[in-house]
């Protein structure tokens, strides 16, 4: 059964919850607003988690192959990151950013539905498939969040209202995101050895994954060397995100992509 | 960088090439290395072949000894202090980044002797001078920075050391070990004993291990129905039901057509007026499809065909037709007898993602004859020998723990 037919129900419910969450942020209340804000954010998140779980059951394979399926995982992970950072540091804008981005991904899926495809090629039938993809998606979500923080930081810097806490938040997100990025890269290498015979073949997707890794590596080292520097470091963070996007989407359009085993298709 | 005196007043701006060197000097040196690399490449017009045992062991040992000497004898020398510094390492990372960008954007191909290669090595970056020099610079800065943090030993640096030393070990072993990597393919035909394997250049190499394919097994998914444009031979891929997997009794709507699968035979053959179930080689899936719309109401057999049986499609109008696509592979494997020269014989199944280990070799199921699909009499396996792999795995394992350290410590890491 194509469980995607229920997608719009779950997605609409999640989006409504998140709208209510944002509504609570502007409404004036005597009591602490944190509880209702969190409640509706979490409720929306749960809706998408339940949908993804059910989809996995009905699809007979992990829903991690097509672009539509990966967009679904972002709609799951981004709210989780937004909620956790909100609980930890009370940054409302990061929570809102993650909910809006999740909504964008849900909308894209609604207007551009996946073709229903149960097939999973033999090379993807491995214990490494799920950890490799999940870890990468989670790291991308974290690094995307850190880059938004960087842009926000640059914006505040030019307005003269820069606070050091902004860079601290970006840093925290980058360290955790980079850890997951490294794991994704290493899991991919270990899987490649079991499936293809070699752990690194400079396939264009692999090369761009390494480039993303190097980009954030440069940021981490630059920030370590000059911890008080703001502008160059934030710019590096924004640039590193561009490399990430190139790796995620751009590889399909590059001249080298004809030789890649990673070129994802819609079918 | 500004020189600041004890009262925190800015005294003077540091002059270029005045110690300690910072980002400006690092990038100038890195640029110099880049230019040197390209000059070397342009003048030699060749690719660098990987060195194998024992030369790679010697080079590895010499490199490590050089790093140890530099660190322990000249630890306070300004050049050594700069080489292990962050600006030097950042410039080295950027140098590798530049090479990787070229490799990741432009099509790469193996260097072919005799054919005039492109001037700067852009199509074979991996074996070009600029890349080798970038890697050497990277490993030098990495090695010295790691050594510096390891001596004197402090347990609080465990995360740093795991990440940096792990990367050093994995990269060095990967680069040096590539010369000892052997990858051969063997074409196995049913009931043939094969002792010879083929390398990348197509040269036959006798192996101490022989394989006899007793049978090639393949499970497929049910084939998919698609709407094709017969004027330009393309398949429509947009929409939820664009590529629907066939199952008997299924019915769905697509692009204004009501489609119903009246009957489905997994293994069939075309004889005169229809498809009938058979148990023969070359049998192909076939489906009896009913299509209704405002303008059409028809039922017909369609099939993707095989090497033994014709394909059929259902033409809807001048432009569109309903076709059946070839079924996709679900699982395929080779049942083989293994004969080892001066060793024990064995019998096993080699499957994708489940390679078989024998005598220092790992055997992978690579491919089969796609024209014959599940009736393929040919199975292609790949034999890989990678003696440096345990060292690379050591580095990878260290980095995995290092990555977990980064995740749990977040910003509180000791860097």
DSSP letters for B262-313? EEEEEEEEE-SSSEEE--STT-EEEEEEEEE-SS-EEEEEEE---SSS--B-
Please state the rounded mean pLDDT for residues B82-108: 93
Q: What is the phi-psi region of residue B49: left when phi exceeds 0, alpha when psi lies from -120 to 50, beta otherwise? A: beta
Q: Is the pLDDT of residue A63 over 80?
A: yes
Residue of B329, B389, B392 with shortest CB distance to A122: B329
Q: Please give the Cα distance from B219 to B373 (Å, whole number).
A: 10
pLDDT score, position A198:
87
Residues A111 and A133 in one domain: no
Q: In sequence order, what are the residues at sequence separation of 6 or more whose Cβ sits closer than 8 angstroms to the Cβ of residue A87?
A: A38
Q: Which of residues 333-352 of B touch A (CB under 8 A)?
A: 351-352
Same domain? A113 vs A228? no
Query: Does the distance separating the beta carbons of A186 and B330 come in below 8 Å?
Result: no
Out of A86, A120, A154, a domain closes at A120
* Prediction ipTM score: 0.83
Query: Which pLDDT tens digit goes with each residue over A94-123?
Result: 888 889 989 999 998 888 887 777 777 888
Q: DSSP string of A193-230?
A: HHHTS-S----HHHHHHHHHHHHHHHHHHHHHH-TT--
Q: Which residues contact A259 (CB under 8 A, 6 or more apart)?
A: A203, A204, B107, B108
Distance CA A105, CA A141 (A): 12
For residues B227 and B233, give the distance between their C-alpha atoms in angstroms, rounded to a whole number.
Answer: 10
Q: Residue B327: name the closest of A3, A121, A58 by CA.
A: A121
Supply the DSSP symbol for A169: H
**pLDDT greater than 50 at residue A266:** no
User: A172: domain range?
Assistant: 126-267
Residues A66, A108 within the same domain: yes
Report whether pLDDT(B5) > 60: no
Please give the tally of structural domains in chain A: 2
Mean pLDDT score of chain B:
89
| One domain for residues A114 and A200 | no
Q: Which residues of B282-305 are buried (b: 16+ CB within 10 A; e: fewer)?
A: ebbbbbbbbbeeeeeeeebbbbbb
Instruction: Please list the helix, strand and coil fractions of chain B in percent, rounded to the nearest 5, in that order.
Output: 35, 30, 35
d(CA B223, CA B285): 7
User: Of B403, B409, B410, B414, which to mutate for an interface test with A (greatest number of A Cβ within 10 Å)?
Assistant: B403
Assess whether pLDDT exceeds 50 at residue B267: yes
pLDDT digits (tens, 9 = 90+) for B177-232: 988 999 999 999 999 998 889 988 788 988 889 999 999 999 999 999 999 988 88
Q: Which residues contact A208 (CB under 8 A, 6 or more apart)?
A: A243, A246, A247, A250, A251, B104
Specify the residue for token string 């590539």: B178
> Closest residue of A to B104, CA-based?
A204
Question: Is residue A89 located within the same domain as residue A137?
Answer: no
* Dist CA B221 CA B304 (whole Å): 13
Note the Cα A205 to chain centre separation in Å: 17
Q: What is the pLDDT of residues B309-318, one digit of tens each?
A: 888 898 888 8
Q: Lowest mean pLDDT: which of A231-235, B179-183, B243-247, B252-256?
A: A231-235
Instruction: Give, for A172, the enclosing helix (H) or strand (E).
Output: helix A164-195
Task: Tell me: do A132 and A208 sit in the same domain.
Answer: yes
| Mean pLDDT computed over every residue of chain A | 85
Query: With contact defined as beta carbons under 8 Å apart, do B208 and B186 qualify?
Result: no
Q: Looking at the structure, do residues A3 and A106 belong to the same domain, yes or no?
A: yes
- Chosen domain end from A89, A120, A151: A120
Is residue A233 domain-shared with residue A265, that is, in the same domain? yes
DSSP secondary structure letter of residue B220: E
Do A71 and A187 lie in a common domain?
Answer: no
| Mean pLDDT, residues B253-278 taken together | 88
Are A38 and A60 within one domain? yes
Please report how many Cα atoms fall inside a 13 Å half-sphere around the Cα of residue A94, on the Cβ side: 29
Interface list for A 221-240 with B (CB within 8 A): 221-222, 224-225
Residue A13 has pLDDT above 80, yes or no: yes
Please give the pLDDT value at position B411.
60
pLDDT at A156: 83
Q: What is the pLDDT of residue A17?
A: 95
What pLDDT does B361 receive? 92
Q: How many other C-beta atoms are found inside a 10 Å radius of the C-beta of residue B82?
A: 19
CB burial of A189-222 (b: ≥16 within 10 Å; e: otherwise) equals bbbbbbbbbbbbeebbbbbbbbbbbbbbbbbbbb
Residues 6+ apart with CB under 8 A from A117: A65, A66, A267, B243, B245
Q: How far is A61 from chain B (nearest CA, A)?
A: 12
Q: Residue B411 and residue A168: Cβ atoms within 8 Å?
A: yes
Domain boundary among A100, A120, A140: A120
Query: CB of A243 within 8 A of CB of A212?
Result: yes
User: Do the Cβ atoms of A210 and B404 come within 8 Å?
Assistant: no
Query: Band of the pLDDT at A261, cuts 50, 70, 90?
Result: low
Position A161 confidence tier, pLDDT thresholds 50, 70, 90: confident
Q: What pLDDT score was predicted for residue B4?
A: 57
For residues A139 and A90, state if they share a domain: no
pLDDT in tens, B40-79: 999 988 888 888 889 999 999 999 999 999 999 999 999 9
């Amino acid at each position: 059964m194509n469980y995607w037919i229920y997608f719009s129900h779950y997605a609409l419910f999640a989006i409504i919850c998140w709208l209510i969450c944002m509504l609570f942020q502007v409404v004036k209340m005597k009591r602490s607003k944190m509880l209702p804000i969190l409640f509706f954010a979490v409720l929306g998140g749960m809706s998408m988690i339940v949908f993804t779980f059910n989809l996995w059951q009905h699809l007979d394979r992990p829903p991690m192959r097509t672009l539509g399926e990966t967009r679904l995982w972002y709609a799951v992970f981004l709210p989780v990151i937004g909620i956790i950072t909100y609980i930890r540091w009370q940054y409302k804008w990061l929570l809102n950013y993650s909910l809006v981005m999740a909504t964008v991904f849900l909308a894209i899926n609604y207007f551009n539905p996946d073709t229903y495809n149960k097939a999973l090629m033999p090379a993807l039938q491995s214990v490494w498939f799920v950890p490799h993809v999940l870890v990468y998606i989670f790291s991308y979500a974290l690094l995307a969040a850190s880059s938004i923080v960087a842009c926000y930081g640059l914006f505040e810097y030019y307005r003269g209202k820069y606070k050091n806490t902004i860079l601290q938040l970006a840093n925290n997100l980058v360290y955790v995101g980079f850890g997951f990025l490294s794991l994704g890269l290493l899991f991919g290498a270990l899987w490649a050895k079991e499936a293809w015979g070699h752990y690194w073949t400079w396939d264009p997707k692999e090369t761009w994954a390494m480039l993303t890794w190097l980009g954030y590596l440069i940021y981490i080292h630059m920030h370590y060397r000059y911890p008080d520097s703001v502008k160059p470091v934030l710019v590096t963070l924004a640039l590193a995100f561009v490399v990430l996007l190139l790796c995620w989407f751009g590889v399909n359009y590059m001249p080298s992509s004809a030789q890649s085993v990673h070129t994802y298709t819609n079918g | 960088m500004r020189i600041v005196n004890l009262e925190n007043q800015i005294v003077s701006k540091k002059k270029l090439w005045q110690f300690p060197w910072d980002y400006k000097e690092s990038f100038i040196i890195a640029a110099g290395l880049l230019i040197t690399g390209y000059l070397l490449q342009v003048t030699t017009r060749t690719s660098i072949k990987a060195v194998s045992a024992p030369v790679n062991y010697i080079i590895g040992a010499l490199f490590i000894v050089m790093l140890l000497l530099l660190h322990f004898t000249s630890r306070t020398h300004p050049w050594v202090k700069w080489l292990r510094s962050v600006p030097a390492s950042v410039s080295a990372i950027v140098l590798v980044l530049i090479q990787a960008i070229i490799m990741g954007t432009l099509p790469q191909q193996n260097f072919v002797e005799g054919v005039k290669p492109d001037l700067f090595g852009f199509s074979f970056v991996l074996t070009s001078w600029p890349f080798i020099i970038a890697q050497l610079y990277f490993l030098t800065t990495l090695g010295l920075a790691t050594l510096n943090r390891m001596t004197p030993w402090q347990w609080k640096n465990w995360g740093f050391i795991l990440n940096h030393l792990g990367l050093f070990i994995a990269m060095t072993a990967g680069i040096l070990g590539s010369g000892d990597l052997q990858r051969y393919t063997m074409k196995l035909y049913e009931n043939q004993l094969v002792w010879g394997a083929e390398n990348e250049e197509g040269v036959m190499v006798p192996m101490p291990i022989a394989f006899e394919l007793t049978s090639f097994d393949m499970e497929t998914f049910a084939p998919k129905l698609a709407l094709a444009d017969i004027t330009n031979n393309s398949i429509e891929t947009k929409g939820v039901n664009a590529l629907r997997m066939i199952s008997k009794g299924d019915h769905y709507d697509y692009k204004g057509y009501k489609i119903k699968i009246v009957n489905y035979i997994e293994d069939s053959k075309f004889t005169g007026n229809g498809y009938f179930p058979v148990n023969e080689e070359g049998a192909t899936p076939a489906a009896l499809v009913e299509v209704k719309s405002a303008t059409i109401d028809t039922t017909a057999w369609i099939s993707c065909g095989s090497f033994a049986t014709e394909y059929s499609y259902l033409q809807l109008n001048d432009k569109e037709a309903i076709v059946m696509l070839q079924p996709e592979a679900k699982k395929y494997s080779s049942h083989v007898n293994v004969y080892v020269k001066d060793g024990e014989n064995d019998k096993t199944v080699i499957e994708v993602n489940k390679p078989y280990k024998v005598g220092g070799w790992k055997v992978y199921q690579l491919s089969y004859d796609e024209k014959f699909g599940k009736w393929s009499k040919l199975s292609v396996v790949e034999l890989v020998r990678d003696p440096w792999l345990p060292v690379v795995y050591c580095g990878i394992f260290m980095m995995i723990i290092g990555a977990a350290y980064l995740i749990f410590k977040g910003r509180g890491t000791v860097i």
